[in-house]
Amino acid sequence: MSYTLIHQDKNSKARLGKLITAHGEIDTPCFMPVGTQGTVKTLAPGELEDCGAQIILSNAYHLFLRPGIEVIKKAQGLHNFISWHRPILTDSGGYQIFSLALLRKVSDEGVEFQSHIDGAKHFLRPEDIINIEQELAGDIIMPLDECVHYPCAKDYAEIAMRRTIDWAMRSKAAASKNAMPNTKKRQLLFGIVQGATYEDLRKECSQRLIEIDFDGYAIGGVSVGEPKTLRYNIVNFILQFLPLNRARYLMGLGMPEDIIGAVEIGVDMFDCVIPTRYGRNGTAFTSEGKLTVRNAPYIEDFRPLDPICSCYACKNFSRAYLRHLFNTQEILGAKLVSLHNVHFYLELMRNIRKAIAEDRFVEFKKAFLSNYTSN
RNA sequence: GGGCCCGUGGUGCAGCCUGGUUUAGCACGUCAGAUUGUCGAUCUGAAGAUCACGGGUUCAAAUCCCGUCGGGCCCG
């Protein structure tokens, strides 16, 4: 069993758990910094470790296109190639094929698409994606799924959902066929719940995936343009069907307040580009809310981004200096604010876990939100 | 001493010849917003100009004419 439920918060559905993978254990609820191309943008592996990252996310689609799977195979796997020796989750690229690829033709067999890099045509079946992910040798692998945008007509959402189930089944079959080459422990394979904003589709998808039996369950197809309340409701709706003895992963979220809200209803895992993307674009997350570093009020503000933060950026640099770096487009600015944001997110997760362990998650949430201004 | 060119938001330019269709356009900069299984990307919005100054012609002048000031170049 890969997931162990350690403690259930007494006043909410928040749960403390442990996920066991080939490269080590992960405390949940956890946040996975996104390292699509085999790097969490601007951060070296050692810096991620200093922030307390236990797992990062990478992407089969991107690595398949560049540098190509053969290169990573010759490097003896992704961990070795990128010199990150803690767990890695590889996303299938389902999302990218639907968001980045130029032309795509989805059929029951697989996806035909044109590379967003050089326009070359590729055809990938769910089995191919699993094969790629096995070559990458990540600890947790995601099957190919079909993600639809919001709004999506129900008849198409249903087609995509059924296709996702079929692909999930084929992915599991493909995954169990091959043993992992470089480790004794097997890769964990998660199922991805689709079904857009339709409760009956989401319910059916959840149940069918559970029948197939995965190591964990992800909720996909969220944050694709739908209103926040609708998203929250559909996630909450799905969670009731997911087994308590498996990790639940909400894909692609989110803002700090959204993560806290999702933990409260029982989500264990998150990934999101927000801390690094926003960091690169000059927005920092602090205990008081978002801080747009490049804004004029910070020209002569010599305080750190967040006075209560213990990250390298906050210990050494002022808002004024960081603003200057953004103003002059110096890459150090992107790096320091990314570092701060990743630290902030991971510190948030540590505090969340501590609060759950002590049965005071609800109080923690209240205290956090009373300081923190959203929007 | 003579001749020529130029003067338009913070910066660089367009518009002027053929006056009205320009509430003066563009780029960069500035200010602000977006960003959710990636984006050193991109998008959106805003502020900012008595069109060097003065006079004239005209129903109407950044635009045509005269003068002044400022900058540059050429001839002596």
User: What per-residue confidence (pLDDT) applies to A225?
Assistant: 92
Weakest mean pLDDT among A104-118, A122-136, A323-337: A104-118
**Are A180 and A267 members of one domain?**
yes
Nucleotide nearest A35, CA–C1', reads B38
Nucleotide nearest A144, CA–C1', reads B37
- Kind plus residue range of the DSSP H or E element containing A260: helix A256-264
* SS3 (DSSP) at A91: strand
Please check whether strand B approaches the CB of A260 to within 7 Å. Answer: no
ipTM over 0.85: yes
**Are A263 and A283 members of one domain?**
no
| Residues contacting residue A271 through CB under 8 Å, at least 6 positions apart | A31, A32, A33, A34, A57, A89, A91, A249, A251, A252, A253
Q: List, as one string, the DSSP characters of A294-360.
A: TSGGGTT--S-S-TT--SHHHHH--HHHHHHHHHTT-HHHHHHHHHHHHHHHHHHHHHHHHHHHTT-
**Average pLDDT of the segment spanning A51-59:** 98
Q: Between the CA of A344 and the C1' of B2, what is the distance in angstroms?
A: 74
* Tokens, residue A295: 């804004």
Q: Which of residues 79-118 of A touch strand B (CB under 7 A)?
A: 91-92, 94-96, 99-100
Chain B nucleotides reached by a protein CB under 7 Å: 30-42
Say which amino acid occupies A175: A
* SS3 (DSSP) at A103: coil
3-state helix, strand, coil in chain A (%, to 5): 45, 20, 40
- Kind plus residue range of the DSSP H or E element containing A233: helix A228-239
CB A194 within 8 A of CB A148: yes
**Are A215 and A320 members of one domain?**
no
**Are A214 and A330 members of one domain?**
no
Overall number of domains in chain A: 2
Q: Which of residues 135-164 of A touch strand B (CB under 7 A)?
A: 142, 145, 147
User: What per-residue confidence (pLDDT) applies to A375?
Assistant: 76
**Are A250 and A339 members of one domain?**
no
Please check whether strand B approaches the CB of A209 to within 7 Å. Answer: no
Rounded CA gap, A230 and A36, in Å?
Answer: 28
The CATH code of the domain that includes A67 is 3.20.20.105
Nucleotide nearest A334, CA–C1', reads B40
Name the closest residue (CA) to the C1' of nucleotide B29: A327
**Average pLDDT of the segment spanning A266-295:** 98
Measured in whole angstroms, the distance separating CA A253 from the mean position of its chain's CA atoms is 7
**Are A260 and A347 members of one domain?**
no
User: What per-residue confidence (pLDDT) applies to A328?
Assistant: 94
Please check whether strand B approaches the CB of A192 to within 7 Å. Answer: yes
**Are A177 and A307 members of one domain?**
no
**Average pLDDT of the segment spanning A268-291:** 98
Rounded CA gap, A151 and A63, in Å?
Answer: 30
Please check whether strand B approaches the CB of A41 to within 7 Å. Answer: yes
Of A229, A254, A272, the residue at which a domain comes to its end is A272
Q: List, as one string, the DSSP characters of A110-177.
A: -EEEE-TTT--EEEE-HHHHHHHHHHHT-SEE-------PSS--HHHHHHHHHHHHHHHHHHHHHHHH
Q: Is A371 exposed, middle or buried (0-12, 13-18, 19+ CB in 10 A)?
A: exposed
Rounded CA gap, A197 and A156, in Å?
Answer: 12
What is the residue range of A301's domain? 274-375
* SS3 (DSSP) at A13: coil
**Average pLDDT of the segment spanning A177-204:** 85
**Are A236 and A292 members of one domain?**
no
User: What per-residue confidence (pLDDT) applies to A213?
Assistant: 98
* CA distances from residue A105 to A112, A126, A146, A244, A286 in whole angstroms, order as listed: 5, 14, 11, 37, 43
Rounded CA gap, A21 and A3, in Å?
Answer: 9
User: Mean pLDDT, chain A, as a whole number?
Assistant: 95
Which band of pLDDT confidence, cut at 50, 70 and 90, is reported for residue A181? Answer: low
Report the percentage of chain A scoring pLDDT > 70.
Answer: 98
Rounded CA gap, A105 and A22, in Å?
Answer: 35
pTM of the model: 0.95
**Are A243 and A291 members of one domain?**
no
Q: Does the pLDDT value for residue A180 go beyond 90? A: no
Of A252, A272, A292, the residue at which a domain comes to its end is A272
Q: Does the pLDDT value for residue A3 go beyond 60? A: yes
**Are A303 and A254 members of one domain?**
no
Say which amino acid occupies A192: I
Please check whether strand B approaches the CB of A261 to within 7 Å. Answer: no
Rounded CA gap, A223 and A95, in Å?
Answer: 12
Weakest mean pLDDT among A1-5, A40-44, A159-163, A182-186: A182-186
User: What per-residue confidence (pLDDT) applies to A1?
Assistant: 81
Q: Between the CA of A296 and the C1' of B11, what is the distance in angstroms?
A: 20
Q: Does the pLDDT value for residue A69 go beyond 80? A: yes
A91 is known as an active-site residue:
yes
Q: Does the pLDDT value for residue A178 go beyond 80? A: no
A271 is known as an active-site residue:
yes
Within 10 angstroms of residue A272's Cβ, the number of other Cβ atoms is 24
Strands (E), A231-276: 247-250, 269-272
Please check whether strand B approaches the CB of A294 to within 7 Å. Answer: yes
Catalytic residue, candidates A9, A139, A215, A271: A271
Please check whether strand B approaches the CB of A62 to within 7 Å. Answer: yes
**Average pLDDT of the segment spanning A355-374:** 97
Please check whether strand B approaches the CB of A64 to within 7 Å. Answer: no
Within 10 angstroms of residue A140's Cβ, the number of other Cβ atoms is 29
User: What per-residue confidence (pLDDT) applies to A189?
Assistant: 98
**Are A243 and A302 members of one domain?**
no
Q: Between the CA of A52 and the C1' of B6, what is the distance in angstroms?
A: 63
Rounded CA gap, A104 and A111, in Å?
Answer: 7
**Are A267 and A295 members of one domain?**
no
Of A255, A272, A289, the residue at which a domain comes to its end is A272
